[in-house]
Amino acid sequence: MAYSIDMRGAARRHLDAADKLALAQREDVAGYLYGIAAECAVKAMAQTLPCARDKEILMAHFPDLRTLLREALTGRTAVPLLRILENDAYLNEWEIRVRYAPSREVRNKPLNGWAEQARRTVNMMGEFA
Distance, CA of 24 to CA of 106 (rounded, Å): 16
Which residue type does 90 have? Y
Query: From CA 67, how far away is CA 54, in angstroms rounded?
Result: 14
Residue 87, classed as helix, strand or coil, is coil
pLDDT digits (tens, 9 = 90+) for 9-44: 999 999 999 999 999 999 999 999 999 999 999 999
> Model pTM?
0.93
Over residues 47-91, the pLDDT tens digits come to: 999 888 888 898 999 999 999 999 999 999 999 999 999 999 999
Burial 46-83 (b: 16+ CB within 10 A, else e): bbebeebeeeebeebebbebbebbeebbeeebbeebbe
Return the beta strands (E) in 41-98 as ranges.
none
